Amino acid sequence: MGVLYWYKHENKKHDILKNINVSFEKRNYKKAIAVEMLKRVGISEIQARQKVLTLSGGQQQRVSIARALCCDAELIVADEPTGNLDEYTAKEIVELLRALAHEEGKCVIVVTHDPDIARDSDVVVKLLKGSITVTSNEPELVSN
């Protein structure tokens, strides 16, 4: 399972590759995989050698997504992945998560307070005053 937090958990003193490496110290980590995943989310190999502090909020969130991809997680849980981002960058992150779900078959669960993100989701599970409702833009995804 890959997890994206609303507050970035990267060590600000390390470069991006070191941050991903720390996440996988006890696994069969390969730098080439990290570089490939970073490229997929729009972070170049040159940027991967920069300190996390030099990155924008959107770039930091992309690093989180790349870290989740490095472990080849089938399930990605994103807690308010756009909470601290500008509208344009938020849209890019949502599109990236959507592509992971639709093009790569990942199960992406997004926790959000943003009604626009919820409205564009395939399935919405809404918790309100102790009640749970499930709606879908694609009814075949929801069974009673």
Return the ∠ at Cα 111 (arms to 110 and 115), rounded to 5°.
95
Which structure tokens are listed for 53?
Answer: 């502090």
Domain enclosing residue 108, as ranges: 2-113
For residues 136 and 66, what is the distance between their CA atoms, to the nearest angstrom?
28
CATH number of residue 23's parent domain: 3.40.50.300
State the total domains in the chain.
1
User: pLDDT per residue over 31-80, tens digit each?
Assistant: 788 888 888 888 898 988 888 888 887 888 888 888 877 777 789 888 88
Residue 65 domain-assigned?
A: yes
Residue 124 domain-assigned?
A: no
Residue 137 domain-assigned?
A: no
Nearest by Cα to 108 from 143, 60, 59, 141: 141
Which helix (H) or strand (E) segment holds residue 70: the answer is helix 57-70
Give the CA diameter of the chain: 49
pTM over 0.85, yes/no: no
